[in-house]
Structure formats: structure tokens, C-alpha cells
Amino acid sequence: MGKVSFLKLNGNIADQVINLKVKESQKHLIDNNAEWIIQAIFNEDSISYGIYVDNKPAGLISLIDPRILEDFDEHFQKDYLYLWRVMVDYNFQGLGLGKQAINFSKQYASLVGLQGVSLTTMDKEDGNALSIYQKLGFAPTGRRLDDEIELIFNFEHIHLA
């Protein structure tokens, strides 16, 4: 795979990523990009990035820092970056780009001084990403939110050699 970059969503980036698609078998797991981008624009608490490979649009990722919420929402873990959404276009799946997107969220959380990353996933649906997240170090918290399992990645559980 070529050079991967993450570019903050703006009008130009939105135009480039709006038509990216997941596989037909994954469509029930995520909103289409047009709906996603509209929701992200109106959600002032989120920050979204286009994911690029060699300057070609390949995916989207949206993050929420719960510390900036006007009113704390129990949906979030207080000191953990919330990985709101991530998608990789079907043409770029299987190349490790999803792992790089997750690692981007971990690096972002570390840079802004958070304890880790939290997310939810549709674990009861076919084709869900639960096992992928677990392989990347996420563990269930025991909570279910909107009928999705909550997972957390905690920097404290990383042991440096």
C-alpha cells in the first residue's frame, strides 16, 4: 500500500469522499457517506477526516472528544476519544487501511491527552467488526449502547519494552 494520509474534512474533501462505498454485504452496518457527512457537519463536537492512499480518497473517520461536549453525555467514556465512525471504500479493503485508521484514532487520543479510545459496534449483525477491534487491543466494557457493544482501548494496558 502507498502513502496513507488523513485530511480534515472540508468542502473539497467532502466532494472527494462522498461517493466512496463499502461492500454490498456491509451497507447495513453504516450510513452512506452523504448522510454521514451531513451529520458530521451539524455535529459540532465531532471532527472528521478523509482517509487517502497516494492522494486517492479511500475512506472516512469521525472522532469525538467528550471533554468538549457542552453537556456530558453518558454515551461516552469521560476521558476517552470516541471513535464515532470509520469506513474504508471496498476498493481499499483488505490492505490494512482500517487498522491504520484505528491507529490514527489512538495517536490522536494520545496527542490530546486522553486515556484511550472508545467505540461501539453492531456485534449482533452479520459482518460486524468486533473481532477486528479486539485484535487491535479493544476490550468490551460490559455496556451496551443503542443495542451495540461498547469497547475500549486503554493506554494504561500497554507495556513498553
Q: pLDDT band at residue 100, thresholds of 50, 70 and 90?
A: very high
What value does the mean pLDDT take over residues 47-64?
A: 96
Q: What is the mean pLDDT of residues 116-123?
A: 94
User: How many structural domains comprise the chain?
Assistant: 1
- Tell me the C-alpha distance between 152 and 141, whole Å: 7
Percent above pLDDT 90 for the chain: 68
Query: How many whole angstroms separate alpha carbon 36 and alpha carbon 125?
Result: 20
Indicate the Cα dihedral angle 57, 62, 150, 72, nearest 10°.
180
CATH number of the domain residue 128 falls in:
3.40.630.30
Average pLDDT in the 116-135 region? 91
What pLDDT does residue 161 have? 39
Give the 3-state secondary structure of the chain.
Answer: CCCEEEEECCHHHHHHHCCCCCCHHHHHHCCCHHHHHHHHHHCCCEEEEEEEECCEEEEEEEEECHHHCCCCCCCCCCCEEEEEEEEECHHHCCCCHHHHHHHHHHHHHHHCCCCEEEEEECCCCCCCCHHHHHHCCCEEEEEEECCEEEEEEEHHHCCCC
Average model confidence (pLDDT) across the chain: 91
Exposure string of 4-13, with b = 16+ CB inside 10 Å and e = fewer, is: bebbebeeeb
Domain that holds residue 34: 4-157
- Is the pTM higher than 0.75? The answer reads yes
Q: Name which of 120, 117, 119 is nearest 81 in CA terms.
A: 117
